[in-house]
Amino acid sequence: MAETTVLGILASGRGSNLQSIIDAILAGKLAAEIGVVISDKPDANALKRAADLNLTAVCVDRKQYKTQQEFEQALVNELKLHQVELVILAGFMRILSPYFVHAFANRIMNIHPSLLPAFPGKHAQEQAIQYGAKISGCTVHFVDEGMDSGPIILQQAVPVMPDDTPATLAERILQQEHVIYPQAIKLYIEKRLQIEGRMVKVVDR
């Protein structure tokens, strides 16, 4: 069997990006396997999606840990237990400390629903509308110690329509998230991403 890269997916909620990655694997577009899906929320729909497909689904509930460090140690232990090579944040609504980032240095990706560095943080779609932006989109980036600040891998723009609400813009952006997240993971798996400072170069192989 061809070699596959083991992914660990961290998701707090709905899990539509998780689903897009699962779909890409099932369609034979990604030489990856999902080692574990972890949520910090016991009732996350992402856990249900994973369990329905017989993937290993684990809740690491922040409330069960006294400190952020202990919580993150539990995450790292779970990821290592399942031999995870690349960590995928897919709607994981917690900031991770340098401890976690160093444990998987240059091996953590995130997707954010804006064209970074515009509109980092929460409610990115609402921020774009309130700012009056005509174009927004989504960004896949490596995770560094800052918030939504790591080297950018792929971006896709979408228009912001005059009558958009945060929900309609979020839906338009989400469709593109489901396209570029699997693409970025594929580039990583194919060893086509070279990080040079803030720059991620996509090289031919």
Instruction: Return residues touching ligand GRF (CB under 6 A).
Output: 11, 13-17, 90-91, 111-113, 174, 177
Q: How far is the CB of 91 from ligand GRF (least distance, A)?
A: 3
Residue with Cβ nearer ligand GRF (174 or 193): 174
Residue with Cβ nearer ligand GRF (5 or 45): 45
Residue with Cβ nearer ligand GRF (8 or 113): 113
Q: How far is the CB of 168 from ligand GRF (least distance, A)?
A: 13
Give the integer Cα–Cα distance in Å for 156 and 142: 16
Catalytic residue among 82, 112, 141, 178: 112
Strand partners, 57: 37
The single-letter DSSP state of residue 28 is: T
Give the integer Cα–Cα distance in Å for 145 and 161: 34
Strand partners, 88: 9, 109
| Catalytic site includes residue 112 | yes
Q: How far is the CB of 164 from ligand GRF (least distance, A)?
A: 15
Which tokens belong to 178? 């489901």
Give the integer Cα–Cα distance in Å for 10 and 104: 13
Backbone angles phi, psi at 27, to 5 degrees: -80, 0
Active site residues: 112
